[in-house]
């Protein structure tokens, strides 16, 4: 039967990409032929086929039946563009659906978290075919592929594009992981004479990524355009070079995203004004506030990263940002994590071991830690851990945690750059035990109360940590190690290299 014979085809993907394909059996239907071609060529899209008809001097005709094909046919792949129908109600609806569609579309431009194991992307059909053949040759004969300049360019360009979807500025460890993943998937690309078999690929990726950032900068991508003038070459005439290099350093995924499609500065400023007006109402519309905050995220990040405005300015322009829900949502927009859940879960997981370490300390540090390790309920235990961490790490919490009364005037904390104000009950004599369960807490930034009426210290610390990301703030100097411990150990954000004190404590937690 003809169906059992092999079939050899000449497949035209583009004028520069024509491939010989051998099928084990001759397909009996058009659908079967398309399916086999998809599998053989690794095509991920739908397409139709044309074939060269001998009856018309080999001119192309639409293929509708495999019986029309000659013995060794030439077929052309025509990608099919699929359109999703939209109902008139969806087009003209004045609900938040349209805004959601805009946001979901624009979110495709946002970064993703760097994966634990980098997945090498699919290259063009021609490159995939050449690598597959070279891999087979390497497995059978141990022959390494001699990579041409053109092939190397295409591989590096695709890898740079994939890496950029995670970060514009990969770390040395991330470059190494991509290079290692490349030779693992395509062993024919291993380098002879290299201890890691991929040192050359790692160095080439660094250069290619720099070139790719230049292209993105020229196209106006904000996360790299912000660093365009750091050497003065791209600065406006008469403007000094930008000395500070602005890039994600604390695990931010969406550090400086582009404006949503269809929105410019003026449109987003209008949405910002709508937010201010809504927040002045006695009962703001929660879903509307969230939708507007999502929409204006890129504008807000541009302000805090590039302009670094005063906190008083941010409170006036973005009042919704200083609400508990929006602090956590903003952290999720920037980092892609549920701050509240992961913060509490991580503290609860490490609390038993931390309390053991507190009790084992001797001297002045041991006395301080013993005073704050007497409670048993979950909130109190979390409070003990957060009050004990700066002591065991060598920070100075006395200039971060400030005790006071509701009736105290604002001058008492004007000099506090960033910290937490523990409000004691009127008439009470402040003691260390009361500091563990104050009447309420307030968050102070640049000498101003930005959030108040917080019920307990763990929530206040969680919110303040979120605000350091939302407002692009440096960690307080007197509590820097504590905040870095929360970031790198409790939440696993940013670089994995830890300072000695943090690494020591992390090792002790694992015992």
290-322: pLDDT as tens digits: 999 999 999 999 999 988 999 999 999 999 999
pLDDT for 225: 82
Say which range, 100-109, 183-192, 422-431, 446-455, has the weakest mean pLDDT: 100-109
What integer is the mean pLDDT of 465-471?
97
Residue 234 lies in a domain: no
pLDDT for 411: 67
Would you call 53 helix, strand, or coil by DSSP? strand
For residues 502 and 382, membership in a common domain is answered with yes
pLDDT at 373 over 90: no
For residues 409 and 487, membership in a common domain is answered with yes
pLDDT at 84 over 60: no
pLDDT for 286: 92
Which own/partner contact pairs does 79-86 have at CB distance under 8 Å and 24+ positions apart? 79/45, 79/46, 79/47, 80/45, 80/46, 80/47, 80/48, 82/46
For residues 446 and 494, membership in a common domain is answered with yes
For residues 502 and 387, membership in a common domain is answered with yes
Residue 345 lies in a domain: yes
Residue 333 lies in a domain: no
CA atoms within 13 A on the CB side of 27: 20
Give the residue among 150, 175, 173 at the shortest CA–CA distance from 160.
Answer: 175
Task: Tell the burial category of 489 from Cβ atoms under 10 Å away from its Cβ (0-12, 13-18, 19+).
Answer: middle
pLDDT at 232 over 50: yes
Q: Are strands 17-23 and 59-62 parallel, antiparallel or unpaired?
A: unpaired
Query: pLDDT tens, 135-164?
Result: 999 998 889 999 999 999 999 999 999 999
Report the distance separating Cα 19 and Cα 7, nearest Å.
14
What integer is the mean pLDDT of 420-424?
89
Q: Which of 79, 94, 125 is the last residue of a domain?
A: 79
pLDDT at 429 over 80: no
Residue 306 lies in a domain: no
For residues 46 and 116, membership in a common domain is answered with no
Confidence of residue 410 (pLDDT cuts 50, 70, 90): low
Cα 346 from chain centre: 21
The average confidence (pLDDT) of the chain is 84
Give the residue among 195, 426, 467, 207 at the shortest CA–CA distance from 321.
Answer: 467
Residue 290 lies in a domain: no
pLDDT for 90: 42
CATH code at position 15: 3.10.20.90
What integer is the mean pLDDT of 105-125?
75
For residues 494 and 434, membership in a common domain is answered with yes
Q: pLDDT above 70 covers what percent of the chain?
A: 83
pLDDT at 98 over 60: no
Which residue range is the domain that position 179 belongs to?
111-225
What integer is the mean pLDDT of 366-374?
59
For residues 71 and 130, membership in a common domain is answered with no
Cα 492 from chain centre: 13
pLDDT at 2 over 50: no
Task: Tell the burial category of 149 from Cβ atoms under 10 Å away from its Cβ (0-12, 13-18, 19+).
Answer: exposed
Report the distance separating Cα 101 and Cα 104, nearest Å.
5
The domain total for the chain is: 3
What integer is the mean pLDDT of 187-199?
90
What integer is the mean pLDDT of 283-290?
93
Confidence of residue 116 (pLDDT cuts 50, 70, 90): confident
For residues 483 and 400, membership in a common domain is answered with yes
DSSP secondary structure letter of residue 251 = S
What integer is the mean pLDDT of 387-393?
92
Residue 289 lies in a domain: no
For residues 202 and 140, membership in a common domain is answered with yes
For residues 501 and 370, membership in a common domain is answered with yes
Residue 42 lies in a domain: yes
Residue 411 lies in a domain: yes
For residues 395 and 498, membership in a common domain is answered with yes
Q: Which of 79, 95, 125 is the last residue of a domain?
A: 79
Report the distance separating Cα 502 and Cα 489, nearest Å.
8
Residue with tokens 């520069």: 16
Give the residue among 134, 137, 118, 282 at the shortest CA–CA distance from 205.
Answer: 118
For residues 18 and 143, membership in a common domain is answered with no
pLDDT for 379: 86
Query: pLDDT tens, 236-254?
Result: 555 555 566 788 889 898 9
Report the distance separating Cα 199 and Cα 188, nearest Å.
15
Report the distance separating Cα 126 and Cα 15, nearest Å.
12
Report the distance separating Cα 187 and Cα 439, nearest Å.
64
Confidence of residue 101 (pLDDT cuts 50, 70, 90): very low
pLDDT for 328: 96
CA atoms within 13 A on the CB side of 340: 10
Q: Which of 201, 225, 249 is the last residue of a domain?
A: 225
Do residues 257 and 290 lie in contact, with contact meaning Cβ atoms separated by under 8 Å? no
């Amino acid at each position: 039967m003809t169906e059992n014979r092999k079939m050899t085809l000449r497949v035209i993907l583009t004028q520069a990409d024509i491939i010989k394909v051998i099928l084990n059996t001759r397909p009996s239907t058009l659908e079967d032929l398309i399916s086999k071609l998809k599998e053989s060529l690794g095509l991920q899209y739908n397409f139709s086929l044309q074939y060269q008809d001998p009856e018309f001097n080999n001119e192309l005709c639409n293929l509708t039946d495999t019986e029309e094909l000659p013995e060794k046919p030439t077929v052309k792949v025509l990608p099919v563009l699929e359109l999703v129908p939209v109902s008139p109600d969806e087009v003209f609806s004045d609900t938040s659906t349209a805004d959601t569609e805009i946001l979901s579309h624009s979110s495709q431009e946002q970064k993703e978290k760097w994966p634990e194991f980098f997945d090498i992307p699919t290259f063009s059909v021609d490159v995939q075919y050449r690598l597959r053949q070279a891999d087979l040759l390497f497995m059978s004969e141990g022959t390494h592929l001699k990579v041409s300049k053109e092939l190397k360019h295409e591989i590096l360009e695709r890898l740079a594009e994939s890496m950029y979807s995670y970060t514009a500025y990969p770390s040395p460890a991330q470059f190494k992981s991509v290079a290692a993943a490349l030779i693992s998937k395509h062993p024919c690309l291993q380098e002879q004479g290299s201890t890691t078999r991929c040192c050359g690929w790692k160095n080439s990726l660094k250069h290619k990524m720099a070139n790719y950032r230049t292209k993105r900068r020229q196209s106006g991508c904000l996360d790299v355009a912000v660093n365009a003038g750091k050497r003065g070459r791209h600065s406006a005439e008469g403007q000094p070079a930008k000395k500070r290099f602005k890039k994600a350093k604390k695990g931010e995924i969406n550090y400086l995203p582009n404006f949503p499609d269809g929105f410019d500065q003026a449109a987003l400023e209008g949405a910002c004004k709508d937010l201010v007006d809504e927040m002045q109402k006695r009962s703001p519309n929660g879903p509307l506030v969230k939708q507007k905050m999502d929409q204006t995220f890129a504008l807000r990040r541009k302000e805090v990263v590039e302009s670094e405005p005063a906190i008083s300015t941010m409170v006036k322009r973005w009042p919704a940002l200083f609400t508990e829900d929006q602090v956590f949502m903003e952290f999720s927009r920037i980092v892609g994590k549920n701050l509240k859940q992961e913060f509490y879960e991580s503290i609860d997981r490490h609390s038993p071991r931390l309390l053991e370490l507190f009790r084992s300390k001797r001297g002045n540090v041991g006395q301080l830690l013993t005073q704050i390790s007497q409670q048993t309920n979950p909130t109190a235990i979390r409070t003990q851990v957060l009050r004990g961490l700066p002591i065991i790490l060598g920070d100075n919490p006395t200039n971060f945690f400030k005790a006071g009364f509701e009736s105290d005037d604002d001058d008492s904390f004007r000099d506090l750059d960033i910290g937490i104000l523990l409000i004691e009950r009127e008439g009470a004599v402040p003691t260390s035990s009361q500091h563990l369960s104050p009447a309420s807490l307030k968050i102070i930034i640049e000498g101003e109360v930005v959030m108040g009426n917080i019920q307990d210290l763990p929530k206040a610390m969680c919110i303040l940590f979120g605000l350091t990301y939302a407002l692009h703030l440096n960690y307080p100097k007197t509590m820097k190690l504590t905040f870095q411990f929360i970031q790198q150990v409790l939440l696993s954000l940013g670089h994995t290299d830890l300072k000695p004190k943090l690494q020591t404590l992390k090792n002790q937690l694992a015992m």
